[in-house]
Amino acid sequence: MDFVTYLIRACQEPDKPTSMTNSSATSHFDQPPLLAVHDLRVALQTAHGHVDALRGVSFVMQRGDTLGLIGESGCGKSLTALALMGLLPERAQVTGSVQLNGTELTQLSEAVLCKMRGARMAMIFQEPMTALNPLHPIWKQIAEPLQLHQSMSLAAAKKRALELLERVQLPRAKERLDAYPHQLSGGQRQRVMISIALACQPDILIADEPTTALDVTVQKEVLSLIRQLVTEDGMGLLLISHDLGLMRDQVDRVMVMYGGTVVESAGTPDLFRTRAHPYTQGLFAARPQLGLKRGTRLQTIPGNVPEIFKWPQGCAFADRCSHAEASCRMAVPLPEQIHANRNADSSSMQTHEHWVSCLKWQQLETSA
Ligand code: SF4
């Protein structure tokens, strides 16, 4: 059975453990998944002609699911998020399916999508200073989606803005209601961004490198806050990061992206135990580690992520993979299931099968 068929059936059959969903899916089997993405593809018009920037992404999320997307810059993580939000450039061509609570988003007009953004799905961006409007006090920016999507009066929206700022634990929230973004620290600005994202209690929260611009000490605080709020509100969280350490702490499931597609996916504990794709192995090997002897060179993945119009035929990783053979360049490897694994936390009874798209994974699988 191929990967996409497996995902679809897993969402339909109550007793089937799902590869890309946790066991909570089985309690919702009579409802559509919260988010079902099927063979999502994006083609962009560039100076080099039409290029396939996203080349088939499929996954399913239920309420409470936390899913991480990792990979180097240029692998398609942010493009996936923008495609889900309907924020692609005007001339981008989208094929495949994105269903939120059973509603097909790729067929909606911009006007209808606009009503869903902020209300049913929200996004936290990397750099809050550029995402916030420097000309408006923070309470007005939190109040805006409430007025727009919930028709709240200005006074009620201001009151709610204060509640939200208190919920995201902004110190001295009441005093800071009239503050402008430049009067806050980076961590405080990101808390304001989280307030805006959560204002209308969306179903899906997408966080694209939400702590990259923050000090290390603040990063963990902000991520823990996001995770806590997601759990309390029963949202689905799609977290994008290149930081494997953050992924281990914050998400239940990880998808590794390269060349505009998912090359490996697994439950987080499973992936940290066993990697099957040479790209995932390279990412893990390149992690800085404590206790290395002075002068020890960190491992790196040879070469760079190619420009999207220079991806090789067949396996996109072939130019950088030391195991590449002629057959790797003939066709894009299809996802294969490695083994079903039960998380170490048996009380949660979560299962996440492990999938990989590599012709030689059986010879290359490595354990931590
Ligand atoms: S399919 Fe071939 S080139 Fe691609 S990752 Fe596997 S071994 Fe490397």
Whether 240 contacts 273, CB under 8 Å: no
* CB-ligand 1 contact for 256 (6 Å cutoff): no
Q: Tell me, what's the pLDDT at 11?
A: 45
* CB-ligand 1 contact for 317 (6 Å cutoff): yes
Whether 206 contacts 227, CB under 8 Å: no
3-state SS assignment for residue 155 = helix
End-to-end CA distance of the chain: 29
pTM: 0.85
One-letter amino acid at 190 equals Q
| Residue labelled with tokens 């009503």 | 115
| Residue labelled with tokens 């090789």 | 312
Compute, in angstroms, the gap from residue 271 CA to the centroid of ligand 1. Answer: 18
pLDDT, tens digit, for every residue of 297-309?
Answer: 778 899 999 988 8
Q: Tell me, what's the pLDDT at 3?
A: 53
∠ CA(333), CA(338), CA(342), 5° rounding?
145
Could you give phi then psi for residue 38, rounded to 5 degrees?
-130, 115
3-state SS assignment for residue 3 = helix
Compute, in angstroms, the gap from residue 326 CA to the centroid of ligand 1. Answer: 10
Q: Tell me, what's the pLDDT at 52?
A: 92
Q: Tell me, what's the pLDDT at 25?
A: 40
Profile the chain (368 residues) by mean pLDDT over runs of 10 residues.
Answer: 52 41 44 92 90 93 94 93 92 94 93 90 86 94 94 95 92 94 92 92 92 77 86 92 87 95 95 94 86 79 89 94 94 85 41 87 76
Domain residue limits, the chain: 3-120+202-367
Q: Tell me, what's the pLDDT at 7?
A: 52
* CB-ligand 1 contact for 323 (6 Å cutoff): yes
- Pocket residue to mutate for ligand 1, from 257, 322, 359, most atoms within 8 A of Cβ: 359
Cα(239)–Cα(249) distance, integer angstroms: 12
Q: Is 3.40.50.2300 the CATH number for 3-120+202-367? A: no
Cα(242)–Cα(284) distance, integer angstroms: 11
Compute, in angstroms, the gap from residue 92 CA to the centroid of ligand 1. Answer: 29
Compute, in angstroms, the gap from residue 317 CA to the centroid of ligand 1. Answer: 6
Name the average pLDDT for the chain.
85
